[in-house]
Structure 1
Amino acid sequence: MTTTGDQDARQGLDGAGGTDTGTGTGDAAEPVDTDLAGLDPDGPEAASATGYDPGFLAVGVPLPDTGGRVVRELPYAHFTVLLDPARRLAALTAVNVDGSSLIDLERGDDWHLDERVPADEQCGPEVYARNDLDRGHLVRRRDPVWGSPAVASRANRDTFSYTNAAPQAADFNQSAELWLGLEDQVLQYAQVHRQRLTVFTGPVLLDDDAPYRGVRIPRSFFKIAAWATRGGAALRTAGYLLDQGPELDGVDLEAAFARAHEAGDPPPLGEYRTFQVPVRDIAALTGLEIAQLAEADSLQTVPTVQPPEGLRPGWVPLTSVDQLTF
């Protein structure tokens, strides 16, 4: 991974250190209802929680290397974005989630550019104006919102940075709702078991992604959840892929891209399809160096199923959150 620009040092998170909370069987942690009023997301307490912490779980999980891709490392409260300035999108986001100290805050909707980064290296508001593209959170808004109210308030605000967004199709069909259900399931798992999780998310950035308003629009997104087993003896992971690419053959797809480009429209995007996939396949698709995460993949323990035509071996199409393997 090649980084450029100023980088803040990563610091410990709210005294959490590297001690894992385990998968306790006691009552689920109830998020604390807190209003944003009166909180100081710019105060010294909030400033102490900077970036993804590789020692957050009992098993250390370093920030993955991007395999030679030039990125800017941008720390926020409880998460880090590795921004690809050439693509104007994150190559990877990494967030620490503490299920024992989540806080409920009002959502807000204050999307903003990150002042540490030139505007032309970010996918800003002009990309989403007057079209059917949504600003999709990469680090989900609720995931880093934990700890003290001041830190949680800062984390809530930080997730609305354009560096943490990627263009996604606005039409929410059943499979798109499933992706959101997956995110809910991950957070609920952390909350119920008072568990610490680390979640890596990002777009799959391909050279043939279609251009639109100076940004090439990704056709798929990945998510990897990582956690320590009971007692912190081992690391376990689960990988998922959201595909929003149009289901067209090569000739039709090229023609559809050309028509959209000529009309000044976003590239065609298809219905969302969600899969649980081997983490090693995410590594192959993205170029991320995540051997540690691949070796801990929980999908390896699932009996092999014959994938539908056109899918890679080991890819499990998801139609319900009940199919998720943790």
Structure 2
Amino acid sequence: MTSSAFPEGRVAEGRATDDRGPLAGRTGFDEGFLGPVVPLPEVTTRGVESVVLPYTHFSVVLRPDRRLAAATATAVDGTHLAEGVAPADDWRPDPRVPADRQAGAELYRNNSLEHGRLVDLPGPVWGPAAEARSAADDLSHYPNAAPRADVHNRARRVWEALEDHLLGHAAVPDRRLVVLAGPVLHDADPPYRGVQVPLRFWKVAVFVRDGRLAATAYVLDQSPDLARDADRALAGAVPGAPPLLGAFRTYQVPVADVAELTGLALGPLPAADLMPPPPAPELRWRRLEAPDETLMDI
């Protein structure tokens, strides 16, 4: 749905355009990249507007009301990943979006929050040198960021290694992968500097196996563990400080659960889920301690 908050001529049918500016010519995520169509996630909540921001090899589905992405979609060509190409150092707003409709520098200034890239290396950084450089530079636009706790624990390392693991094991020999990802935008997320800080993130990896789509899904949880942090939570946050966030926990979850958590339409992906049915309801979400613990029903 097109947002009326965007200047006339900058958004058409919910898709941001930039024919002359620094993002001119960006075509975004290719839904046919794998062969079988993987549709861009669609916000289905009634009355909630979104806009698609195309970059190089990926797209961001922005929710202007939350000033954050609802979803991202990335085409990953594992055979042609570029080495030694880093994202731009400077975070910057997307010029196609009004500043008050995207979280910016103020959210991250003088606090412990980090710019959590929703699409990150190596992801879209592949192809000829100029194309790979363009993709890397695009990673540092604010719509591709969501605030995360600056905690580098084991669960976070698992989360960050999942894409490499799946590229190496799931999509051989073509080594092509689609990664859908984003924050879980819940109405109860704690507010901070005009932005509600998400407590969970999600990721769905999609590839082709035996000519058909296959998918696995994951959730990264940074909500506080009240069993350990009850005193701090009950005392409340220090005035002006970011909300209390806990250590990361990574889970493999049913794709259908991601669709339900996020209110996003994920097309054929719930039916393509490789996670076997849980032996008991309480095991529906499976905590991961290493990427190779991913269940793929093989």
* TM-score interval, smaller chain: 0.7 to 0.9
Task: Output the amino acid matched with 1:324.
Answer: T
Residue number in structure 2 paired with 1:84:
63
Task: Output the amino acid matched with 1:57.
Answer: L
Residue number in structure 2 paired with 1:216:
196
Q: How far off its partner does 1:259 sit?
A: 2.3
Q: How far, CA to CA, are the matches of 1:206 and 1:316 in structure 2?
A: 22
1:206 to 186, 193, 196: 186
Compared CA separation, residues 263 and 76, structure 1 to 2 (3 A): same
Compared CA separation, residues 192 and 77, structure 1 to 2 (3 A): same
Q: How far off its partner does 1:248 sit?
A: 1.7
Q: How far, CA to CA, are the matches of 1:52 and 1:257 in structure 2?
A: 43
Q: How far, CA to CA, are the matches of 1:257 and 1:125 in structure 2?
A: 29
Aligned length: 280
Q: How far off its partner does 1:105 sit?
A: 3.4
Q: How far off its partner does 1:143 sit?
A: 0.5
Tell me, yes or no, if the aligned pair for 1:144 and 1:156 is still in contact at 8 Å: yes
Task: Output the amino acid matched with 1:194.
Answer: D
Task: Determine helix, strand or coil for the equivalent of 2:33.
Answer: coil
Q: How far off its partner does 1:187 sit?
A: 4.3
Per-residue CA distance 1:130-153 (angstroms, 9 max, x = gap): 111110110113210111211111
Question: Any gaps of 5 or more consecutive residues in structure 1?
Answer: 10-41
Residue number in structure 1 paired with 2:291:
321
Compared CA separation, residues 210 and 8, structure 1 to 2 (3 A): closer
1:304 to 278, 285, 294: 278
Q: How far off its partner does 1:258 sit?
A: 7.2
Q: How far off its partner does 1:291 sit?
A: 4.2
Per-residue CA distance 1:230-278 (angstroms, 9 max, x = gap): 3xx21100000000001227x959x828722x51111101111100000
Normalising by structure 2, what TM-score? Answer: 0.86
Q: How far, CA to CA, are the matches of 2:184 and 2:161 in structure 1?
A: 21
Q: How far off its partner does 1:190 sit?
A: 7.1
Q: How far, CA to CA, are the matches of 2:90 and 2:173 in structure 1?
A: 32
Following superposition, which runs of at least 4 residues in structure 1 exceed 3 angstroms of deviation?
46-49, 186-194
Compared CA separation, residues 212 and 8, structure 1 to 2 (3 A): closer
Q: How far, CA to CA, are the matches of 1:323 and 1:190 in structure 2?
A: 13
Q: How far off its partner does 1:202 sit?
A: 0.4
Matched, 1:243 2:246: no
Tell me, yes or no, if the aligned pair for 2:28 and 2:55 is still in contact at 8 Å: yes
Task: Determine helix, strand or coil for the equivalent of 2:182.
Answer: strand
Residue number in structure 2 paired with 1:100:
79
Per-residue CA distance 1:147-201 (angstroms, 9 max, x = gap): 1211111110001111000000002111112111223323444786432111100
Task: Output the amino acid matched with 1:106.
Answer: V
Q: How far off its partner does 1:303 sit?
A: 5.6
Compared CA separation, residues 190 and 106, structure 1 to 2 (3 A): farther
Task: Determine helix, strand or coil for the equivalent of 2:269.
Answer: helix
Q: How far, CA to CA, are the matches of 2:16 and 2:131 in structure 1?
A: 17
2:154 to 159, 174, 193: 174
Matched, 1:161 2:141: yes
Q: How far off its partner does 1:305 sit?
A: 3.6
Q: How does 1:101-116 map to 2 (within 5 A)?
A: 101-107=80-86, 108-116=88-96
Q: How far off its partner does 1:48 sit?
A: 5.2
Compared CA separation, residues 171 and 214, structure 1 to 2 (3 A): same
Compared CA separation, residues 290 and 85, structure 1 to 2 (3 A): same
Residue number in structure 1 paired with 2:2:
3
Task: Determine helix, strand or coil for the equivalent of 1:151.
Answer: helix
Q: How does 1:258-273 map to 2 (within 5 A)?
A: 259-260=236-237, 263-273=239-249
Residue number in structure 1 paired with 2:30:
53
Task: Determine helix, strand or coil for the equivalent of 2:66.
Answer: coil
2:233 to 256, 270, 288: 256
Per-residue CA distance 1:302-323 (angstroms, 9 max, x = gap): 362446xxxx542111011220
Task: Determine helix, strand or coil for the equivalent of 1:150.
Answer: helix
State the identity as a percent.
44
Q: How far, CA to CA, are the matches of 2:191 and 2:108 in structure 1?
A: 14
Question: Any gaps of 5 or more consecutive residues in structure 2?
Answer: none
Normalising by structure 1, what TM-score? Answer: 0.79
Q: How does 1:135-150 map to 2 (within 5 A)?
A: 135-150=115-130
RMSD: 2.4
